[in-house]
Amino acid sequence: MTRLYIFLKHLTAPGALVRGMWEQTVCRASKVVVEDNRYLRNDEMASHIEHELMPTARSAFAMCFVPFFFNMLGAFIFGIIPAVMVLYLQFRGIFLGITCAVSYWFAVSLFCNAFPLIEDAMNMVDKVYHKGNILQKILYAPGVAITYVGAYLERYSITFLLILVLSIAIAI
């Protein structure tokens, strides 16, 4: 599992770098110490930075949801470009084919690196549901559920298979 995980993180390096940048941005905004900011490593911390646990429910939620949101937004934007060019506008040609392939790879890369580490997701659940107030529990519930389940999917490299299956299903 670890070799496949590391291989896919290096294959989807642009998404890993973008995710690491967003994590570091959230840590700086939350004033949390970053212990190791190498984004591409050869262990299970690939595409993530090593940092202290988030102290509040808001910062724990931001650590999981902000990188998820912006990576998914980027995946949608870069994924819609080849879909529109090929499926609806019927563009053909080598240059447009290369452009579509690069855009699709970047979209897959962003999607595969959208979800947080399991430790961050567990910290978020602990801070929101055990130490947060009722308003935080209600407002953060959809984001907590999506990122928590996604953290387990990413850990076992299922997000890569999921995006490939979704791409084939959309193209058919």
**CB-based contact 110:72 (threshold 8 Å):** yes
Angle between helices 57-83 and 13-30 (to 10 degrees): 150
If we measure between CA atoms, which residue out of 12, 72, 78 comes closest to residue 47?
A: 12
Please state, in angstroms and rounded to a whole number, the distance separating the CA atoms of residues 137 and 145.
11
pLDDT in tens, 122-165: 999 999 999 878 998 999 999 999 999 999 998 888 888 888 88
Structure pTM? 0.87
Tokens standing for residue 150: 């996604």
pLDDT number for residue 86: 72
pLDDT number for residue 71: 94
Q: Which residue ranges make up each domain of the chain?
A: 2-171
pLDDT number for residue 171: 66
pLDDT in tens, 47-94: 788 889 999 999 999 999 999 999 999 999 998 888 777 777 776 777
Please state, in angstroms and rounded to a whole number, the distance separating the CA atoms of residues 91 and 99.
11
Does the structure show a pLDDT above 80 at 25? yes
Whole-angstrom CA distances from 11 to 8, 15, 43, 103 are 5, 9, 14, 14
